[in-house]
Structure 1
Amino acid sequence: MTKFAFRLLPALLAGLFAAAPVLAEETAGLMHAGTDLGDQASLQRGAQLFMNNCSGCHSLQYLRYSRMASDLGLTEQEVMDNLDFTGGKIGDQVHVALKEDEAKQFFGKMPPDLSLIARVRGSDWIYTYLKSFYLDESRPLGWNNKLFPNASMPNPLWELQGLQQPVYGKAEGGGDAPVEKLVLATPGSQTPAQFDQSVRDITTFLEYAGEPAALKRQSLGVWVVLFLAFFTFLAWLLKKEFWKDVH
């Protein structure tokens, strides 16, 4: 077994080095989200922003309204009054009112569930994606995304952000001209700083939705570390007692 593992080690290292450029490419150009799962106010704002702007098309089928109430410091009545737009019950999962045939008519397919998007893509990707929409008349819905080109999705936050126009670079090799940067042509209802915070709040909420237990794990982590430190001290005292007569 040891010889086999030793022979396998070069192949594993080669695989890691081969994967490094791919990982670097996936994270290149991403903005830092700066999320904080310990910020309950941000989680509450993110939940409301998501439900008002995103839940019409995207479900969170692995999250229940009751779980949001207990984790985000809200009452069941507050959740039902402000975060439930499908007529669901407090114990229900977060589904959408959009029907599959309507989704296919509007978007070509049913929009994906976003319960695990933060675990799959990462918080920085979500944050960057939500800030990267721009007007594109060549697209069926009139929108495109710099981070995720040709996405079949309009900008759900355009009223808050405003309308962005692309600035194209030089085309190479006969291909399409790349989008170098985005310029805010028409301001939205929020200032750029306010919009950044709104996107950060939504990203924080989606990060929580991907792993609600993370909130409990963080709160328990301090006590676990203290327990391990106390247990280590007791083990040291026990060892000292056992070995005190050994010379």
Structure 2
Amino acid sequence: MKGGIILVQMLRERRRGFLWWSLGIAALAVITAASYPAVKDAGRGFDEFMESLPEGVVQMMGAADGITTPAGYLNSQFYANVFPIVLLIFGIAAGTWSIAGAEREGTLEPLLANPVPRWRVAVERLAGVTLLLAMLTLIASALLVMLRDPFELSELSVGNLAAAGVGVFLLALLFACLAFAVGAATGSKGLAIATGAGLATATYVVFGLSSLVEFFENLRWSSPWYWFLSPSPLTEGWTFQAIGAPLLVLVPVAVIGIAIFHRRDLT
């Protein structure tokens, strides 16, 4: 089989669902940007409300910089919660389906019956998950860049918005890779979803409680949410913590999953 044909086949199979995800994320980005002028006009009231909340709650909401500045608003209403959660749902589902889901459906064996090594099937399917996640992130990021001036977000630079987009993409891809690797290594769709979603939730709780409980403060470096949000790329731009740290984890996780799948007995 020619190189890339498995990737192309996967993209074709997912194109209809991807279209709906794209429209949903585009609508989410537009609505979020369009709501900022009203929040900004409300002014001090919103910031006073945020200041009344416990520090851990504010941190989990991504509102450490307030809510009326462009960076604080987008962090609290988009990048710290809604957008990564949407990407996580998509990424974990796609990562699980790519091997474990296809194996359960019975569509993986006919593919492997072709003269193609298993590792290539896994690599191209993971590449498909990565590409789809990247495209969804690009749609939202591009819209926010285009809507900066119309909705009073021009204080944010294109570079920082791009850094935030890459950061949230890598955050979602990390947990998608975990789901992919567990599914590829075990063939269990349920275990793959549980691992990806469970670790995403657990590390988010660690990040949120790190400002309230000393025990969790000592564990905050283990949370990818902390890497992404402390500090936020919207204010600090391209940091190793948000960009480099996830890569140091997701690459070996993916390689290990592919290696085990290549040797695993599928009978």
User: Is the structural similarity TM-score above 0.5?
Assistant: no
State TM-score, norm by structure 2.
0.23
Of Structure 1 and Structure 2, which has the larger fraction of its residues in strand? 1
Of Structure 1 and Structure 2, which has the larger fraction of its residues in helix? 2
Q: Which has the larger radius of gyration?
A: 1
